[in-house]
A and B are shown apart, each in its own frame.
Chain A
Amino acid sequence: EVQLVESGGALVKPGGSLRLSCAASGFTFSGVWMNWVRQAPGKGLEWVGRIKSKIDGGTTDYAAPVEGRFTISRDDSENTLYMQMNSLKTEDTAVYYCTTDYHGMLNNWGQGTLVTVSS
């Protein structure tokens, strides 16, 4: 059974940093592209970014609002996805989900971790 467990969400001040983790199990993590998607309180879904598998280049893509501030990485030896979030803004407040990616379809989701950016 595929499991994705996010962690690292917290209350942080504007301008601060945070690192989210997503522990994966139940599938061959190294071969799968992974995404982060966020959902602000009471709002819809917003794609944040993606990392390809190393065999497909391991490259990353980001949504415009987070480009240059967020960095996605992966540790295939630990089956873990990361997202380093710097220069956080109040509008980054959201539940952050990690997902698997099959040709752009997000076919497995974690339960999410809440990031609150507030002074």
Chain B
Amino acid sequence: QLQLQESGPGLVKPSETLSLTCTVSGGSISSSSYYWGWIRQPPGKGLEWIGSIYYSGSTYYNPSLKSRVTISVDTSKNQFSLKLSSVTAADTAVYYCVIAAAGTNWFDPWGQGTLVTVSS
């Protein structure tokens, strides 16, 4: 069974780039028909889909974040990553990495989440 674990800095300065990595265990990121994605949740608020990358390399981004987001896969490390540029305090959130199987609409499993605070 696939398991996900987020990692990365917990504090990012305004205007800088937020970078997170999700390590996949229990299977190979390159041999499975999955969408590898990111979802975030600001403190006390709801869930927001950030974007997903298909195992073939196609990317899908939330239109409201598209200009600042890059999601990529590193098959050699069995990881996928998120980069969000020009961050502001509004980007402070718990960031989750998630999986959606090809042909499905749901996310399962989820990583445990990692809090990223944007502050100087």
Q: Do A and B come from one complex?
A: no
Which residues from chain A sit less than 8 Å from chain B, CB to CB? none
Which residues from chain B sit less than 8 Å from chain A, CB to CB? none
